[in-house]
A and B are shown apart, each in its own frame.
Chain A
Amino acid sequence: MTPRRAGWLAGLVVFASVGALEWAVTIDRGGPESGDTMGGNGFALGATLRVIILATATGGLVASIAASKRGRRAAAFAAISAYLVVGLWTWWQSANSPAAPGEDPGRYALGLVTTFVTVGTAFALTAALIAWWIVRNAVGRDGPERVLALETASLHGSRNRWGAAMRAELASIDDPAQRRSFARSAAAAAFRHGTGRWPVILAAFAGIGAGVVVFCAARISFDRPRDRGIISEPLMGLVVVILVSAVVAGTLIGRSFRAGIETAVLAWLAVYICTIAVEVPQALAWYHEEGILLLDGEGAAGAGVDATAAALQPISHSAFIFVSVSQLVIAILAAALGAGILRIAQQRTRTPDAAAQ
């Protein structure tokens, strides 16, 4: 068995197991009728998407790192650091939100472990992927050369030749100050002109789509029993679907992981801004009409919550980490997914495009 195939297989087995565990915990909570704010189809759909993306990205990353020694150490260091950060965050969460009276301690601990494994692995994978890609591409004899090499990495078509021309020109300059100036200016040009307008177009599409979905989810949830907010609305899973679709499309159109990363960051920003732009007025409407909070549907009256707090609830730190940062991680992993699809397609058609990945 080749290292590539072993990597894919290992990734699939690990995340199929974790996914099954997370799914079991979700179903065990009783689904949408249980009144559990985190239970229900939306959460299960999100779990499924996370598992699919994580499994695919793990397979691709492990296979790529196994095939290329360069960057392996940086990827491992980044992954361990990410696990450490998520571990500390999980510990902090458990210290601040201990098990409720009467809650089964075993189930509470299982929930924490599941969260740590899924969130930690997603963050670790993303960190490893970025570190590995940077180290693999930032090759050169000094800083300016490495910066320019990174910025011109994975350009395709005529832009690939253009990047090579700038790198060759830099190699012929000896004066350190001129090297720095040339590299800085050329890298900025490569950043601006490297992948064209598609990342921006796709980001706009993702942002508008997410805004529409959030608006519909808020209105549909409002007409349902008031003990759940939009976080349990199955329709919210579409936001991730839109984000992932936009990023995969950006990777395939730009024919590189670099184009995918650009699309991922821009689309994530657009989705975040549009989501908040819809959620804040909706939160105010929920608060004024029924005195409940948009995210979890719990009653705000009597809990010391005012209109401002209700409106700002969607951008609180926990909502930001749970939803938005996770979406960024998913978007970057979707870029890896797109790059994997691209590579497979190129291998099948035997197109000699060195720009891929």
Chain B
Amino acid sequence: MKRVRRPSPQMVAVLFALCERGKDQSHGYDLCRILDLQAGTVYPILRRLDERGLVETSWEQDPPQGRPARHLYQLSAAGEDLVAELRQLEAHSDRAAVTPPPRPLLGST
């Protein structure tokens, strides 16, 4: 049986935030502000998600003059599946764990 490594709370938070945006694409800095996480935390996570095929990326079309195109992120189908799985796990752990209190999955969100 394939062992699935549980993602970090920060990665889960990024995945959930991307999921909430639905088909809208997000900038890395938007995610930093929404999740109150540092860029140094969010960008390595986005790179890992990209490498694992959990997000789809593209470059901004028609950026304002004098500014480079920003990178945009959107959850892929595989990412959506993982989020659904994580939500199930979260619901299950909420029901199962009475004492001690469950570890927050979403970090600071």
How far is A185 from B27 in the complex, measured between Cα atoms in Å? 16
| A188 with B70, Cβ < 8 A, contacts A158-B50, A165-B28 known | no
Closest to B70 in A: A168
Closest beta carbon of chain A to B108's beta carbon, Å = 15
The yes or no answer to A161 lying at the interface (CB within 8 A) is yes
Main secondary structure of the interface of B (DSSP, over half): helix
| B40 interface neighbour in A158, A171, A173, A189, Cβ under 8 Å | A189
Q: What distance in Å separates the Cβ of B58 from its nearest Cβ neighbour in chain A?
A: 11
Q: Mark B64-76, 1 if CB is under 8 A from A, else 0.
A: 0001111100000
Find out whether the CB atom of A171 lies under 8 angstroms from the CB atom of B47.
no
**A166-B39, A188-B40 are known contacts. Are A182 and B29 too (CB-CB below 8 A)?**
yes
- Would B28 and A159 count as touching, CB distance under 8 A? no
Closest to A193 in B: B44
Q: Contact at B27–A169, with CB atoms within 8 Å?
A: yes
Instruction: Contact check, A169 vs B29: say whether CB atoms are below 8 A apart.
Output: yes
Instruction: A23 to B56: give the CA distance in the assembly, Å.
Output: 60
Complex: A259 Cα to B67 Cα, angstroms: 28
Bound form: Cα–Cα A68–B32 in Å: 37
Q: Quick check: is A198 within 8 A (CB to CB) of the other chain?
A: no
State A166–B27 Cα separation when bound (angstroms).
Answer: 10
Check B8 for interface membership: any CB of A closer than 8 A: no
Chain B positions within 8 Å of A184 at CB level: 40
Q: Known: A185-B38, A185-B41, A193-B47. Is A171-B29 also a contact (CB below 8 A)?
A: no
Q: Complex Cα distance A185/B28, Å?
A: 13
Chain A residue nearest in CB terms to B69: A168
Of the A-B pairs whose beta carbons lie under 8 Å apart in the complex, a sample of 25, sorted by A's number, is A158-B50, A162-B43, A162-B46, A167-B68, A168-B69, A169-B27, A171-B68, A172-B27, A172-B29, A172-B67, A172-B70, A181-B38, A181-B39, A182-B29, A182-B39, A184-B40, A185-B41, A186-B40, A186-B43, A188-B40, A189-B39, A189-B40, A189-B41, A193-B44, A193-B47
Q: Which 4 pairs show the lowest CB-CB distances between chains A and B? A: A165-B71, A185-B40, A189-B40, A185-B38
